[in-house]
Amino acid sequence: MDCERATGYELTGHNDKFDWIELIAQSPSGAIVARAFIRSDDHEAMEAWPKRFNNAAVSHSICVYAEPNRQARYVAPFYLHARSKDNLEEPKRCLLKANEQILIAMQAPEDCGHWYFDGRNGFELLIPWQTFDAFYSPWIFDLYADIATHWDHFQPGCLDLSIYSPDYAWTFPNSRRPGGLYKIPLTEADIAELPVDEILAMAASPRPEDSYLEACIGKYAPWWFTAELKRIEQERTRCPKCSEGSAEHTHHRAMLPCVQAIESAVLVDGTRYATYYSLASAYAGLNMHYLEIIARLRAIDDPNLVLDPNDIEKAAGYGCQHPSYPPCGTALQQYCPDGGCTLLESQQRPTG
């Protein structure tokens, strides 16, 4: 492909310049205590923000906005977060393999990724949006979640699939995490070659990073981004619940007790598949998006270890096509509280 891809203006009708990010600071309890929009190239403000809050619980929007407000059009980098409760070697392998194959698909430069130890239990990879010349689309996060879901199949539960939303905040590098370690920048070679113990020792203090290097531009990556967005739009619009192109549906009904019980239960062998399908229908009946249903089912599945990860997506797709509210008479009925469902009568009347 020697010809240039159409510009963002030609593709969207908007001549946007994406150069605003939102800075965020949180209290130890997670409450947001401060927010501020700045230009993404305002390096002085970027450096001052973490210092103002003692390098703890500071982040910025994953989105880069066309205007200084959260309702504006946006772009976002591609990012992955691999983690493990018990073995940090697993997320290392997962992330390295995913990066290799994604760069092949993008035909992007090998050194375009930014790598981090998250300061807790995993590693992060970020590919700047400039690498594939991103433009605004309501399907950006659906696309990223779809790619992450695909790679999670090879090591189920390793990738965090709950992070793909315009509301997601990217923790500042060299900020201190609750356990005392720092989120530190690494290189791909660091992650591939350094033992976990050495990385943990490095994370005991901040590590210098040149955060303002120019992003590597991929010659063919913009074509990949455009084609993948078109693919995901065609796939997602087949789902009547998810045709809005947003992972943020409004929940008009409170969670039913049976659903709450399942989310904290260890499912019995022989009942999982039927339960997942019924649960997905119940989630869809609560007006949840396909991606949120997948994330919730995976969270439930984590201690249960269903053998075929594709079943999660199949169940979510079934739920979107067959929303059920209330889910009485299904596999969820065995989780009803003693005395019946006290919330059912009020929840059958939408509140929104």
Q: Is 239 a domain residue?
A: no
pTM of the predicted model, to two decimals?
A: 0.70
Q: Do 172 and 64 fall into the same domain?
A: yes
| Residue carrying the six token digits 């010349």 | 133
Q: Is 252 a domain residue?
A: no
d(C-alpha 112, C-alpha 128), whole Å = 8
The lowest-confidence range among 1-10, 13-22, 139-148, 282-291 is 1-10
Q: Do 74 and 20 fall into the same domain?
A: yes
d(C-alpha 283, C-alpha 264), whole Å = 15
The pLDDT of residue 120 is: 94
Q: Do 225 and 288 fall into the same domain?
A: no
Q: Do 156 and 271 fall into the same domain?
A: no
Instruction: Assess whether the previous peptide bond of 206 is cis (omega < 30° from 0).
Output: no
Q: Is 242 a domain residue?
A: no
Measured between alpha carbons, how far is residue 290 from residues 26, 126, 192, 232, 318 in Å? Answer: 29, 24, 34, 13, 10
Q: Is 238 a domain residue?
A: no
- Which domain-ending residue is among 211, 229, 247? 229
Q: Do 212 and 263 fall into the same domain?
A: no
Query: pLDDT (tens digit, 9 = 90+) per residue, 215-248?
Result: 677 788 999 999 999 988 887 655 555 554 444 4
CATH of the domain at 161: 3.90.920.10
Q: Do 220 and 333 fall into the same domain?
A: no
Q: Do 96 and 158 fall into the same domain?
A: yes
Contact 55, 74 (CB under 8 A): no
DSSP state of 182: B
- For the residues 302-322, what does the mean pLDDT come to? 71
The pLDDT of residue 15 is: 81
Query: pLDDT (tens digit, 9 = 90+) per residue, 33-70?
Result: 999 999 999 999 999 999 999 999 999 999 999 999 98
- Which domain-ending residue is among 184, 211, 229? 229
The pLDDT of residue 346 is: 41
d(C-alpha 29, C-alpha 79), whole Å = 26
Q: Do 219 and 278 fall into the same domain?
A: no
Q: Which residue would you say has higher pLDDT here, 17 or 240?
A: 17
The residue among 228, 142, 128, 201 whose CA lies nearest residue 170 is 128
Q: Is 249 a domain residue?
A: no
Owning domain of residue 270: 257-347
Q: Do 179 and 284 fall into the same domain?
A: no
Q: Do 174 and 320 fall into the same domain?
A: no
Q: Answer yes or no: is pLDDT of 19 > 60.
A: yes
Q: Do 172 and 272 fall into the same domain?
A: no
Q: Is 246 a domain residue?
A: no
Q: Is 1 a domain residue?
A: no
The pLDDT of residue 312 is: 80
Q: How would residue 77 be classed by pLDDT, with cut points 50, 70 and 90?
A: very high
The pLDDT of residue 13 is: 72
Q: Is 320 a domain residue?
A: yes
Q: Do 225 and 296 fall into the same domain?
A: no
Write down the mean pLDDT value for the chain.
82
How many structural domains does the chain have? Answer: 2
| Highest-confidence segment of 3-17, 175-189, 277-291 | 175-189
